Amino acid sequence: MKVIILAGGSGTRLWPLSRTNYPKQFLKLNGMDQSIFQLTVQRCLKITTLDDIFIVTGKNYKFLISGQIEEMGYTAVMENILLEPQAKNTLPAIYYGVKAIREKGDDIVAVFPSDHLINDEDVLIESILKGRQLAEKYLLTFGVCPASPETGYGYIKPGKDLGTGFIVDEFKEKPDFETAKKYVDSGYLWNCGMFMFNSSLFSAEVETYCPEVFKAFATEDVSESFHNTPSISIDYGVMEKSNHVAVIPLKLEWNDLGSFATFYDEYDARKNEHGNVIFNNEILIDSFDNMIYSDGDKAIVAIGVKDLVVVDQKDALLICHKDQTQRVKDGVAALKEKGDKRVDYHLTEYRPWGSCTLLEEGRFYKIRRVTVLPGKKLSYQMHYHRSEHWIVVNGTATVVIDGKETLVSSNESVFVKNGCRHRLQNNGKLLLQVIEVQSGIYLEEDDIVRFEDDFDRS
């Protein structure tokens, strides 16, 4: 069995936790030892091997994905990380993965989004294994048995009983609340966006019902394929049109973290007697059914508030009513229109070699905490208009300046003058942490000259 993990979403409805360059699937949320993406990979390893997992993602996430897989103790299969030149919705993404799989032969393929939280994983795994035979003849989707009426999900109407699953009678769009109640009472299922099928059957159905996508991917040029393909979901493009669609009901706890309203539901165990979800030492007085998610180093007091979502980050603050959480994307759009980089970047940015965190900046200076993983190095580079002071606070740095190599231990520092070629690397087994003070007139990307490609984008 092969698996496709869809890992290209930007998660704008969970801003400011989720940013374009580090979206929700890569986050380790409060109380989690692994990111949502890592949990998805771990789940998939229960049904197949890492060699048979294909990850379709945006071009900016390649090293995030490989780094998170390595953090799990595995070696990433780089040829299985399939990069989308541009986002064109789920059908082109899935077909891209299926095409790569078929180059090695047809097989049963399971498709999972990378941003879903699933309790009772064994229920899902058992349903997948039982559904393999059905997937030879049908495009299978999985429908979660609703816990309550929900307007944020599409619905599936099951029809004829096939034993393991049911023929799909109809797909329904996201309803209003009263319609959602009728769907739940009538046995409809939530459309959770997980699929399974034979790769040959899927390709044939795409050719029949969405020939524009099929023709776009006839070329071997991936950029050309994504340029030519329409942006369309698998539901609109194939599932709602095909005569070979079945659904397997899932009785489990599932959350797609599609908004902070569902985020609130995920942390039901943290609710106090007044329905408030808090993560640190926030103080709430005469306040009910709120969620406050903060970085944890700020005193937060809320008095006389109800049904609010407050997400506090060091560089951004979100305050909204719980019934308005779907509109967070509108706030992101407004920030993007203003050219605000906080839409795209956290204060901490992750790189193939580690991470860097912006601590403070002014017109002529920038202070960052640079973390370099064992055995990793930055590119050999030079700056025309800025100098750098490096203070080692943990580990031992190997510093190369104009070809001369020096070891700089914890509590020691080194000065890199503008115009000097330099590199920072960690040859040790401990995490290297450096406080970097940049000073100069120009701090933009075009001030950097690199002399070799070490996959660094700092």
Give the per-residue pLDDT at 445.
54
Would you say residue 330 has pLDDT above 90?
Answer: yes
Residue 458 — pLDDT band, cuts 50, 70, 90?
very low
Give the per-residue pLDDT at 352.
80
Would you say residue 45 has pLDDT above 90?
Answer: yes
Q: Are residues 130 and 12 in the same domain?
A: yes
Cβ neighbourhood burial of 132 (10 Å; 0-12, 13-18, 19+): middle
Q: Which domain holds residue 326?
A: 260-337
Averaged over 372-398, what is the pLDDT? Answer: 92
Pick from 21-25, 97-101, 114-118, 324-328 the range whose average pLDDT is largest: 97-101
Domain boundary among 284, 318, 337: 337
Would you say residue 454 has pLDDT above 60?
Answer: no
Would you say residue 313 has pLDDT above 70?
Answer: yes
Which of 54, 191, 168 has the alpha carbon at shortest distance from 111? Answer: 54
Q: 197-215 pLDDT, tens per residue?
A: 999 999 999 999 999 999 9
| Residue 94, H or E segment | helix 90-102
The half-sphere exposure of 264 on its side-chain side, counting CA atoms within 13 A, is 23
Query: Strand pairing partners for 401?
Result: 404, 422
- Asked if the structure places residue 229 within a domain, the reply is yes
Alpha carbons 73 and 334: distance in angstroms, whole number: 40
- Asked if the structure places residue 7 within a domain, the reply is yes
Averaged over 318-343, what is the pLDDT? Answer: 93
Residue 443 — pLDDT band, cuts 50, 70, 90?
low
Q: 137-191 pLDDT, tens per residue?
A: 999 999 999 888 888 889 999 999 998 899 999 998 888 899 999 999 999 999 9
pLDDT, averaged across the chain:
90
The CATH number of residue 119's host domain is 3.90.550.10
- Asked if the structure places residue 457 within a domain, the reply is no
Q: Which residue has the higher pLDDT, 296 or 298?
A: 298
Q: Which residue has the higher pLDDT, 213 or 21?
A: 213
| Residue 406, H or E segment | strand 404-408
Number of domains composing the chain: 3
The CATH number of residue 410's host domain is 2.60.120.10
Task: Specify the 3-state DSSP secondary structure of 371.
Answer: strand
Cis peptide, bond prior to residue 158, ω within 30 of zero: no
Averaged over 360-387, what is the pLDDT? Answer: 90
- Asked if the structure places residue 343 within a domain, the reply is no
Q: Are residues 65 and 121 in the same domain?
A: yes
